[in-house]
C-alpha cells in the first residue's frame, strides 16, 4: 500500500482528485487530496494574506504529519509548494510525481515561467478561466463541475519566488506528460539535448516518465488512467528519458 498526497493546480481544490482518489482507494492505497489556503472550501480566507510561503507551509505540515514513504503528486502550479515542501522534508517522500508540469529553479516564480498569468489578475486574485480548451479532453459533465467548483486563485502565490536548498534533488522523480497539451517525451529529450544545466537532471537514474493521451487536466479527463499511472509510478515504473 502507498500513501499518495495529491496537490492540485491553479483554481482547483481537493475536489479535482475525487475520481482518482476513489480509484486509488479501490486498489488498496491511501489517497489524500489537498486543498491549499484560499481555494475551494478554503476560499473564505483572505487572498491578500496568502502567498507561496503559506501554500508551502500548509503542504509541509500535511507532509510532516505522515510516515516516511509518501508519494507526493503535484499538478501544474502545485509543483511550486510541492517542491518547496519536499525540499524541506525530503525524508518523508518516497517519490515525487509531476503531472504535466516542469521543475522550477530556486528563486523563480510561476510568473517567471508563465508571465501571461498576470492577464487574469483581479486585485489580490487570478480570475477563473471561462473555458477549458477542447484539446484537454475534459467531458462536459466535468467541465460543468469545474465551472461550479473552481475558485479565484490568490495572486501572490504566483509572484513569490520559490525557496529551495536542492535537498529534493536526491528524490526519485516521475513525470507524467499529457501529450495533447504539447508536453511529450520528445519535448523533454529536446530540452535535455540543449545541454542547459537546468535540464541535466532530466535523464538521471531514478527519473522516469509516462505519457498520457490527454490534455492538461488528466484528473478530470482521464482519472482512471491517471490513477493507474500513479500506482505504476509509485512502484518505480516508467521509462528513462534516453531509453529506446
The residue extents of the domains of the chain are: 3-234
- Evaluate if residue 130 carries a pLDDT over 80: yes
211 touches 177 (CB < 8 A): yes
Which of the four pLDDT bands, split at 50, 70 and 90, describes residue 57? very high
Dist. CA 227–CA 12, nearest whole Å: 18
Q: What is the pLDDT of residue 138?
A: 93
- Evaluate if residue 134 carries a pLDDT over 80: no
Q: Indicate the SS3 state at residue 201.
A: helix
Which residues are paired to 153 by β-bridges? 126
- Evaluate if residue 201 carries a pLDDT over 90: yes
Q: What is the pLDDT of residue 244?
A: 78
Q: What is the pLDDT of residue 7?
A: 98
The share of the chain scoring above pLDDT 70, in percent, equals: 99
DSSP H helix total and E strand total for the chain: 9, 9
Which of the four pLDDT bands, split at 50, 70 and 90, describes residue 27? very high
Which of the four pLDDT bands, split at 50, 70 and 90, describes residue 131? confident
Other CB atoms within a 10 A radius of the CB of residue 3 amount to 19
Q: What is the pLDDT of residue 231?
A: 98
Q: Indicate the SS3 state at residue 199.
A: helix
What does CATH list as the number for 3-234?
Answer: 3.40.50.1820
79 touches 156 (CB < 8 A): no
Dist. CA 34–CA 51, nearest whole Å: 16
- Evaluate if residue 105 carries a pLDDT over 80: yes
Q: Compute φ and ψ for 184, nearest 5 degrees.
A: -130, 170
Amino acid at each position: 500500500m502507498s500513501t499518495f498526497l495529491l496537490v492540485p493546480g491553479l483554481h482547483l481544490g481537493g475536489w479535482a482528485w475525487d475520481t482518482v482518489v476513489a480509484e486509488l482507494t479501490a486498489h488498496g492505497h491511501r489517497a489524500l487530496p489537498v486543498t491549499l489556503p484560499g481555494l475551494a472550501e478554503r476560499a473564505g480566507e483572505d487572498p491578500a494574506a496568502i502567498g507561496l510561503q503559506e501554500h508551502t507551509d500548509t503542504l509541509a505540515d500535511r507532509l510532516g504529519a505522515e510516515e516516511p514513504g509518501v508519494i507526493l503528486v503535484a499538478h501544474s502550479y502545485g509543483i511550486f509548494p510541492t517542491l518547496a515542501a519536499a525540499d524541506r522534508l525530503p525524508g518523508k517522500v518516497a517519490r515525487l510525481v509531476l503531472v504535466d508540469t516542469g521543475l522550477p529553479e530556486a528563486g523563480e516564480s510561476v510568473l517567471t515561467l508563465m508571465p501571461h498569468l498576470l492577464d487574469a489578475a483581479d486585485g489580490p486574485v487570478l480570475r477563473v478561466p471561462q473555458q477549458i480548451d477542447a484539446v484537454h479532453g475534459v467531458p462536459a459533465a466535468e467541465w460543468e463541475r469545474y465551472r461550479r467548483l473552481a475558485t479565484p486563485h490568490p495572486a501572490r502565490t504566483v509572484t513569490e519566488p520559490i525557496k529551495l536548498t536542492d535537498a529534493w534533488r536526491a528524490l526519485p522523480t516521475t513525470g507524467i506528460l499529457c501529450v495533447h497539451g504539447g508536453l511529450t517525451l520528445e519535448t523533454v529529450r529536446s530540452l535535455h539535448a540543449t545541454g542547459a544545466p537546468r535540464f541535466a537532471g532530466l535523464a538521471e537514474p531514478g527519473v522516469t516518465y509516462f505519457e498520457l493521451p490527454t490534455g492538461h487536466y488528466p484528473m478530470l479527463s482521464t482519472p482512471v488512467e491517471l490513477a493507474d499511472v500513479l500506482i505504476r509510478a509509485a512502484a518505480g515504473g516508467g521509462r528513462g528519458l534516453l531509453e529506446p
